[in-house]
Amino acid sequence: MLQVNPVTLERLGRYRHVIWMVDFQTATLSNPPWSPTAPGSWLAYDPQPLASYIRAGGKVWLVGACGYATMKAFNRVGTNALVFSDRDLELVPGRFVYDYPHWRSELTAGGLTDQLQRFGTKYASFPASVIPKQAGSPEDAPPPLRLPDTFWYRTQTRVEYISRANMILESGVSVLDTIYRAPVASSNPGPFPVMTVYRGNECGEVVMTGVDIWGWSRSSCVGLVDGVLQGIWGLHRDPGAPRVASADVRHEPAGRRRR
């Protein structure tokens, strides 16, 4: 059995901001997080600590397959296992994706895209487009012991997205902004909303990005991270911060840390 530190509200409460990442392979697993062979996501196993943190006003950035990880257990028999809809009573109050990111109409997981396109000008601090790693670009070259193969230079990335209109209004004002849309490889290519931010009063601010951030070009990844941490959260780079966090730094209370 793996030794896994449980994710508790007390632990999350040490931080003003939380970034939660789930890769698509892990999201498909149903094993508990301490499985010695194929550990699943803690978010799928027990989303309540993070949900409580968000309800208390915590600011969260969800990255990757967080939607599928929390919804796969609620797929209605006889429906598409990668599509979760309010019409099929899958996306309903009480589901993590419904309550916090406020994706409430239809979530489609497992699509493929080759780029993200910024929507509008409200979030101009984000890159206009997010593109894959570029072969021949020095900044995108693999590190030592990694091969410059198709796994490193991916041309398409798995994505989950809002596949039907999803207007969220509070007091007549829209409180769910689309930051990026993505074209997908399907009969209806979109583009569809893939990255949103909820700014309403029902819970803390939640950024939802239905795609990983590490599969893109370095400049795209840096732009995404800076867009959220600096543009949305108002944090600032610390030139003296270590590039690799020690165990002590990772667990230091947020009030004593800067990015």
Specify the CATH number for the domain of residue 239: 3.40.50
pLDDT value at position 105?
98
pLDDT digits (tens, 9 = 90+) for 38-90: 999 999 999 999 999 999 999 999 999 999 999 999 999 999 999 999 999 99
Structure tokens at 216: 């893109």
Query: Contact 47/70 with Cβ under 8 angstroms?
Result: yes
pLDDT value at position 117?
97
The mean pLDDT value for 216-243 works out to: 89
- Note whether residue 2 is domain-resident: no
- Note whether residue 1 is domain-resident: no
Structure tokens at 45: 């196993």
Report how far residue 241's alpha carbon sits from residue 257's, in angstroms, rounded to the nearest whole number: 9
pLDDT of residue 4 exceeding 80: no
Confidence category of residue 1, pLDDT binned at 50, 70, 90: low
Confidence category of residue 110, pLDDT binned at 50, 70, 90: confident
Q: What mean pLDDT, rounded, does the chain reach?
A: 91
Number of independent structural domains in the chain: 1
- Note whether residue 214 is domain-resident: yes
pLDDT value at position 171?
96
The mean pLDDT value for 112-130 works out to: 96
Report how far residue 185's alpha carbon sits from residue 136's, in angstroms, rounded to the nearest whole number: 26
- Note whether residue 4 is domain-resident: no
pLDDT value at position 246?
42
Domain extent at residue 211:
9-256
pTM beyond cutoff 0.85: yes
Portion of the chain with pLDDT greater than 70, in percent = 92
pLDDT digits (tens, 9 = 90+) for 173-194: 999 999 999 999 887 889 999 9
Confidence category of residue 136, pLDDT binned at 50, 70, 90: very high
- Identify which of 232, 171, 230 has the alpha carbon closest to the alpha carbon of residue 198: 232
Query: Contact 231/200 with Cβ under 8 angstroms?
Result: no
pLDDT value at position 199?
97
The mean pLDDT value for 95-109 works out to: 98
- Note whether residue 3 is domain-resident: no
Residue 52's φ and ψ, nearest 5 degrees, are: -65, -40
pLDDT digits (tens, 9 = 90+) for 138-173: 999 999 999 999 999 999 999 999 999 999 999 999
Confidence category of residue 3, pLDDT binned at 50, 70, 90: low
pLDDT of residue 254 exceeding 90: no
- Note whether residue 237 is domain-resident: yes
41, with CB counted inside 10 A (0-12, 13-18, 19+), is buried
pLDDT value at position 6?
87
